[in-house]
């Protein structure tokens, strides 16, 4: 559909398709946690969370407390896990019925202090274990000390995160992580004399290691249409389309330059189109100087010169192009965010999560 300005289209039917496909890989009893951090990977966290709640997901996950608070303020009712709470967050977490991930003894101490101030002896929380990603989490030798500190306030879930589940060349490493998580779980359950619920698998884990789905799985990038492998291209449909328009066309003579620092010099007569989008909108400078390509009239056109804060210039020489025409940066069909991002040696996660909030959002089915 043609646009009149730079627009992000959010296709909710594609979101449902992706959820249905991922759920087809797990048992009916396994719960599903949808990751909606970073404005739902650059889309619209309120719209997406409302849709996911309507579609019956069991949990949402956000990176930071403010993200969870915002969802509660807009009426989201289902459980929300905060993956990376900070020391001053726990009063807000408790007041907005969020579930914190407890990943270190330091963070545990702030959580315990907050419970005392609120006169609570128990509160739902989850414990994160580090099994090899080496980012956040307790390790196996922490278990006994951890059990003494949490007393009878048992975690609602324990979980960990696979570091290379998308790479079957690293299958041995993933299997070692799985074994470590099972070992930690057994030790913790023995110490606490109880059975604990668990989750481990991310999107690629769901697709490649579904035997280890435990009680719940998590998906972020898969929900938004990417499976980290070309074989899922027909099963997972990108939720986001980024479009803009041609603001102006310039006919350049040989030797003319384009943009700051004369980043592009015309070696022949060249036609340049200026687009109203730039690095302030999430299209970084790494896409400039001939690396990035966009679709103009169904044909690829190179980004030329340096990407500006609010504008990008592309070479449309020989293309059927006029001012006001649509330009596609990526969509759900002909040219994905994965393909666009590869031009600058990066990944779909980065480009979609970087899309500026100032860009208009349009919700479609």
What's the pLDDT tens digit per position in 52-73?
Answer: 999 999 999 999 999 999 999 9
Give the pLDDT score at 229: 77
Q: How many CB atoms lie within 10 A of CB 233?
A: 14
At a CB cut-off of 8 Å and minimum separation 6, what does 147 contact?
Answer: 188, 191, 192
Identify the residue whose tokens are 């189109």: 273
Q: Going along the chain, which residue ranges are E strands?
A: 7-11, 31-35, 59-62, 80-82, 99-102, 126-128, 157-159, 197-199, 216-219, 240-245, 248-252, 257-258, 264-265, 270-275, 293-296, 299-304, 312-315, 326-330, 360-364
Percent of the chain with pLDDT over 90: 95
Residues 139, 198: Cα–Cα separation, whole Å: 16
CA nearest to 134, candidates 161, 172, 109:
161
pLDDT on residue 233: 83
> Is there a contact between 25 and 206 (Cβ–Cβ < 8 Å)?
yes
pLDDT at 232: 86
Q: Which pLDDT band holds residue 1 (cuts at 50, 70, 90)?
A: confident
**Edge-to-edge, what's the strand order for the sheet holding 326-330?**
248-252, 270-275, 312-315, 299-304, 293-296, 326-330, 240-245, 7-11, 360-364
Q: What is the pLDDT of residue 126?
A: 98
Interval 93-115 mean pLDDT:
97
How many angstroms separate the Cα of 340 from the Cα of each of 38, 300, 328, 336, 337?
A: 20, 11, 10, 6, 5
Confidence of residue 151 (pLDDT cuts 50, 70, 90): confident
pLDDT at 117 over 90: yes
Give the global pTM.
0.95
Instruction: Provide the pLDDT confidence category of residue 119 given band limits of 50, 70 and 90.
Output: very high
Per-residue model confidence as pLDDT tens digits over 231-245: 888 899 999 999 999
State the architecture of 12-226 in CATH terms: Alpha-Beta Barrel (3.20)
pLDDT of residue 152: 78
Q: What is the pLDDT of residue 231?
A: 82
Residue 201 main-chain phi, psi, to 5 deg: -80, 130
pLDDT in tens, 290-342: 999 999 999 999 999 999 999 999 999 999 999 999 999 999 998 999 999 99
Which two structure tokens, joined as six digits, stand for 210?
């579904």
Q: Express each pLDDT in 184-243 by its tens digit.
A: 999 999 999 999 999 999 999 999 999 999 999 999 999 999 987 778 888 999 999 999
- CA 301, 307, 313 angle in degrees (round to 5)? 40
pLDDT of residue 228: 76
The pLDDT value given to residue 337: 96
- The torsion angle over the Cα atoms of residues 83, 85, 90 and 92, rounded to 10 degrees, is -80
Please give the structure tokens belonging to residue 192. Answer: 């606490």
* pLDDT band at residue 254 using 50, 70 and 90 as cut-offs: very high
What is the C-alpha to C-alpha distance for residues 115 and 288, in angstroms, rounded to an integer? 51
Asked if residues 313 and 292 have their Cβ atoms less than 8 Å apart, the reply is no
Q: How far apart are CA 242 and CA 270, in angstroms?
A: 26
Domain boundaries, the chain: 12-226, 240-364
Sign of CA dihedral 125, 130, 136, 139: positive
Q: CA 74, 77, 81, 82: dihedral to nearest 10 degrees? A: 30
pLDDT in the model for residue 282:
97
With respect to CATH, is domain 240-364 assigned 2.130.10.10?
no
- Whether the CA torsion 344, 350, 352, 357 is positive or negative: it is negative
CA–CA distance, 321 with 313 (Å, rounded to integer): 13
C-beta of residue 51 within 8 angstroms of C-beta of residue 70: no
């Amino acid at each position: 559909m043609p646009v009149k300005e730079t627009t992000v289209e959010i296709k909710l039917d594609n979101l449902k398709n992706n959820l249905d496909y991922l759920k087809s890989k797990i048992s009916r009893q396994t719960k599903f946690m949808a990751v909606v951090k970073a404005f739902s990977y650059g889309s619209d966290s309120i719209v997406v969370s409302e849709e996911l709640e309507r579609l019956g997901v069991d949990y949402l996950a956000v990176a930071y407390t403010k993200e969870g608070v915002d969802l509660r303020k807009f009426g989201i009712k289902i459980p929300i896990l905060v993956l990376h709470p900070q020391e001053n967050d726990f009063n807000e977490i408790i007041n907005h019925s969020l579930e914190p991930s407890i990943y270190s003894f330091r963070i545990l101490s702030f959580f315990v202090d907050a419970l005392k101030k609120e006169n609570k002896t128990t509160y739902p929380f989850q414990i994160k274990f580090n099994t090899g990603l080496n980012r956040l989490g307790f390790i196996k030798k922490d278990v006994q000390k951890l059990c003494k500190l949490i007393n009878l306030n048992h975690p609602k879930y324990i979980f960990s995160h696979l570091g290379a589940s998308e790479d079957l060349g690293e299958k041995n490493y993933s299997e070692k992580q799985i074994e470590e998580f099972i070992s930690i779980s057994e030790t913790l359950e023995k110490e606490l004399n109880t059975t604990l619920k668990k989750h481990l698998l991310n999107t690629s884990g769901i697709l490649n290691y579904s035997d280890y789905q435990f009680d719940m799985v998590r998906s972020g990038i898969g929900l938004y249409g990417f499976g980290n492998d070309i074989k899922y291209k027909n099963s997972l449909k990108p939720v986001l389309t980024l479009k803009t328009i041609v603001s102006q066309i310039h006919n350049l003579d040989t030797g003319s330059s384009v943009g700051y620092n004369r980043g592009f010099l015309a070696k022949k007569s060249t036609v340049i189109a200026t687009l109203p989008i730039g690095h302030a909108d999430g299209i970084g400078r790494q896409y400039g100087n001939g690396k990035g390509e966009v679709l103009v009239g169904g044909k690829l056109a190179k980004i030329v010169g340096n990407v500006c804060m609010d504008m990008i210039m592309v070479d449309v020489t020989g293309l059927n192009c006029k001012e006001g025409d649509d330009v596609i940066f990526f969509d759900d069909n002909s040219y994905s965010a994965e393909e666009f991002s590869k031009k600058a040696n990066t990944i779909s996660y980065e480009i979609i999560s970087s899309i500026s909030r100032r860009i208009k959002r349009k919700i479609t089915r």
